[in-house]
Amino acid sequence: MSTIEEQACVYAALVLQDDDVAITGDKIATLLKAANVTVEPFWPGLFAKALEGVNVADLISSVSSGVGGGAPAAAAAAPSGDAPAAAAPEAKKKEEPKEESDDDMGFGLFD
């Protein structure tokens, strides 16, 4: 697999999506030809088939949604009342695990 060919097809698909044009193998190939990018003939069709029925705009906007997604769900699941106030001190009480130092093992810088 050639990374450059894959990237070229991805960028062509993104251009088509940005212009609200249907992503087809022929249109990806046309864009690549206009950009003087040579790819194996199967790449445009492969990418078009992979993106068939996929809303690329939603896919792009949800790429980073997995990062840090646990906090809002935990806040929504907490019952109303005094429970959120009680949970806050518990979060502060969590201690970080102590890392072992070389001194604990008998190794020191100046031994």
Domain count along the chain: 1
Structure tokens at 91: 């979060």
* 67 contacts 37 by C-beta, under 8 angstroms: no
Q: How confident is the model at residue 59 (pLDDT cuts 50, 70, 90)?
A: confident
Please say if the pLDDT value at position 63 is more than 70: yes
> Which CATH number belongs to the domain containing residue 25 in this structure?
1.10.10.1410
Please indicate, yes or no, if residue 101 is contained in any of the structural domains. Answer: no
* 80 contacts 68 by C-beta, under 8 angstroms: no
What are residue 29's phi and psi, to 5 degrees?
-65, -40
Domain of 49, in residue numbers: 3-61
pLDDT tens figures, 70-79: 555 444 454 5
pLDDT tens figures, 26-45: 999 999 999 999 999 999 99
Please indicate, yes or no, if residue 36 is contained in any of the structural domains. Answer: yes
Please indicate, yes or no, if residue 49 is contained in any of the structural domains. Answer: yes
Residue 89 C-alpha from the chain's centroid: 33
CA distance 13 to 37: 14
CA distance 34 to 23: 16
Please indicate, yes or no, if residue 28 is contained in any of the structural domains. Answer: yes
% helix, strand, coil for the chain, step of 5: 60, 0, 40
